[in-house]
Chains A and B, each alone.
Chain A
Amino acid sequence: MEKVTAKVFRYDPSTDDTYRYETYEVPYEKGMRVLGVLMYIQENVDTSLAFRYSCRRKRCGSCGVLVNGKPRLACMEEAKEEMVIEPLPNLPIVRDLVVETTEYEERIQSISPYLVRKNRPEREPEKLLPNNFTAVRPLNQCIECFSCMSACPVNGLKWEGFSGPATLIQLARRMLDPRDDMDRIPDAGQAGFEHCVACYACVNACPVEIGILEGVIENIKKKYTEKEPSVYGKYNKTWGDLIVKNGLVNPFTLMRKVSTFDKLLSNMVIGIKFFLKGKISLKSQKIPNIDEIRTIQKVIGEKR
């Protein structure tokens, strides 16, 4: 590869009616990153190109952009022969590739993203054992680049009540910290964790490889459902109960047990259509050796 052809999103809301794309040809250097391409354009072709960066080594999280439609850190993403470089979506554009992240920052601020200790430790200096921080440590790596927010399909819909994966990471950091003694359950409810669709798009986008689904959202789900009744909790529990009862989950039984009366009523039409197509079985299937599952559950319960 001798050169990089970069099609770059350009827009200045103070002067332009709409956005445009400009194409630049940049001489390729071995190991070149997207940030290097943008810096070359700014230094040699068009000084007005606006983009954010600071540390150039995956620590500050400020150079997040879309590269060929995928959220990436410009400082880490290898330059490709042909690239479309755009600002992170779903946010107001300040200029070109610079977006206004205040909305996301405010969401994070709303969940008190700091350690709250109402009670002093029993002994000082306090003994902090590494094992007690196993769950928190990976979450401390978050650089708030908001790549996860860009990748999340629910955040993309601006779904009411969902604060997005980056907010949930900060919430889980505190919920899982053994020193924190603030009741985080109301914030978890407010943050709308149950709207996560478990699609792993955030996990795939995270440049510091945080296991956002298992390490963050599933931990919040667990802690929340232990303390508060919720539709999600009912769904989750019913799923497990049906496996122990039958070995298989009949979707109709699951829906019937989880849905409220008004939800069931609103699903009547589609329910009848599914029934007429033979897609709903009123009788749950049971695996022949269901006793094995029950024995396993009993043994695990006893060991716990």
Chain B
Amino acid sequence: MKITNRYNLPMALTNAMMKDDYSKGSSEYSVTGLLQPPRVALLREQYDDQIEIDISDKMYTFLGTALHKVLEAAGMPANNTAEERLYADVDGSKISGQIDVQERTPAGTVIWDYKVTSVWSVIHEKTEWVEQLNMYKWFVETVKQERVVGLKVCAFLRDWSKNGSGANYPEASIVVVDIPVWSATETEAFIRDRLNAYKMAKMAKDFGEELPLCSNQERWMSETTFAVKREGRKTAIRVLTSEQEAKEMAIKENGYVETRLGEPRRCTGNYCQVAQWCDQYQGEAK
């Protein structure tokens, strides 16, 4: 991967930001790796020497890393274990997960994950968080044979505002989010599904066949909306998710309906870093 410094940021900062401590240990797959879409992971591997990222685009990753370092440096309470990596063998594949914090309570273990994230992420349940923390739970229960009684994300909200309002708007810039708990059977089935998806994708790549397509969820597909507009007015009167309701309103308002197609934001914003080599996205973009 090529790292650029388009905005001439100071060397001390770029050095720190370029340092990548991420490792999947001696495992074949990590929890976070398995949660990536296989298409993205395999294209990244294939085009690693051509992917270009500006150092400024790594800000959020850097903030996350910094948060973990500060927490680790401050020391953990005696009943907490930080950054432990656990390994397991599933269907012949070695997988691992590194858990931010395991807090031992009289009732059992509580798993904590620290994240620097957006307000939006805590207002709308993030599926990836549920999957990630439940996989950690499975590791603790399977490998360490310990009972897990809670899954929590401690979210540092980078765009939180005191003036923010609306339903479910978080009360503070740091909040704790409870994550729904899956059964071990459910999680094990999920892990097998992910492993299988990766195995199928690797096989397709070996045979030069089409890689499995990313799902709408994996592509962060936004919803298609219908804007009710009127001639001579720049902004929409209202934006609705139902085409029927939009049409009815347009008749009442003597206006018209503009369809705003949902878009795969991960692809259009190149958050996957491989949009230019992806035939799924490029095929649609044409």
Do the two shown chains form a genuine complex with each other? no
Residues on A lying within 8 angstroms of B by beta carbon are: none
Residues on B lying within 8 angstroms of A by beta carbon are: none
